């Protein structure tokens, strides 16, 4: 099976990138199901180094309005997400959400007609029901602050439900790796590898 790991951080030497790499290692190291051939594969989409443009443009609006087809860069993103059996997003928490680069990726890639479809009856057709999503957020605060202000719940509402639930994708993992965690930062790499090992461990 194939996973797409999307990482959004401008520094390739960051903890965020190290966590993404360890998630990928865990996926590759996961044994295949009995009688399966080959090995699990991973593609890492480094949005910063690839120069992904997160700005929602007139061409993106035309796609939403169904007056034009997808721009070439978005058609390419659709294709590589379609190739994946699982989607893993690894990102630092900026202002209690995605960085702008990753939010722009969501804005531009999770388009009407591909991720969902607004029906004439007012009902939304969820088009990503086959997709299993794993979210790994990296933050500099502590669990007490997250709990006191309700930030984790707010992030789950906005991201897990508001984005992926709207498209029908199943959020399997929604993990916060924080600076206050015991063994930081090395323990986060072990956790990341364990997350990777779970991505396909129970998939038939």
pLDDT tens, residue by residue, 138-177: 999 888 898 899 988 999 999 999 999 999 999 999 999 9
CATH for 58: 3.40.50.360
pLDDT at 202: 66
Task: Sheet with 170-178: list strands edge to edge.
Answer: 41-46, 2-7, 86-92, 132-139, 170-178
pLDDT digits (tens, 9 = 90+) for 72-127: 999 999 999 999 999 999 999 999 999 999 999 999 999 999 999 998 888 999 99
In a domain, 86, yes or no: yes
Q: Which of 23, 77, 14, 19 is nearest to 45 (CA)?
A: 77
How many domains does the chain divide into? 1
Q: Look at the alpha carbons of 88, 174, 32, 128 in this order and tell me if their dihedral is positive or negative.
A: negative
Instruction: Report the alpha-carbon distance of residue 191 to residue 87 in Å, rounded.
Output: 17
Bridge pairing between strands 124-126 and 116-118: antiparallel
Instruction: Report the predicted TM-score, pTM, of the whole model to 2 decimal places.
Output: 0.94
Residue 95 lies in a domain: yes
In a domain, 127, yes or no: yes
Identify whether 158 is part of a domain. Answer: yes
| Owning domain of residue 168 | 2-199
**Burial class of residue 85, CB neighbours in 10 A (0-12, 13-18, 19+):** middle
Kindly indicate the confidence band of residue 37, based on its pLDDT and cuts at 50, 70 and 90. low
**204 assigned to some structural domain:** no
Answer whether residue 97 is part of any domain: yes
């Amino acid at each position: 099976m194939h996973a797409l790991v999307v990482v959004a951080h401008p520094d390739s030497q960051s903890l965020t990138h190290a966590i993404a790499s360890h998630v990928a290692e865990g996926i590759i190291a996961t044994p295949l199901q009995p009688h399966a051939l080959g090995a699990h594969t991973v593609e890492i989409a480094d949005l910063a180094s690839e120069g992904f443009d997160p700005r929602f443009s007139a061409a993106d609006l035309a796609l939403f309005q169904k007056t034009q087809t997808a721009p070439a860069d978005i058609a390419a993103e659709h294709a590589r997400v379609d190739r994946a059996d699982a989607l893993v997003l690894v990102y630092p928490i900026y202002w209690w959400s995605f960085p702008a680069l990753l939010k722009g990726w969501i804005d531009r890639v999770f388009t009407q007609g591909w991720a969902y479809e607004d029906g004439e009856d007012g009902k939304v057709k969820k088009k990503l029901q086959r997709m299993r999503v794993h979210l790994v957020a990296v933050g500099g605060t502590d669990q007490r602050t997250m709990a006191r202000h309700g930030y984790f719940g707010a992030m789950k509402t906005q991201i897990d439900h508001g984005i992926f639930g709207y498209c029908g994708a199943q959020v399997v993992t929604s993990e916060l790796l924080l600076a206050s965690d015991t063994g930081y930062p090395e323990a986060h790499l072990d956790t990341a590898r364990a997350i990777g090992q779970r991505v396909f461990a129970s998939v038939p």
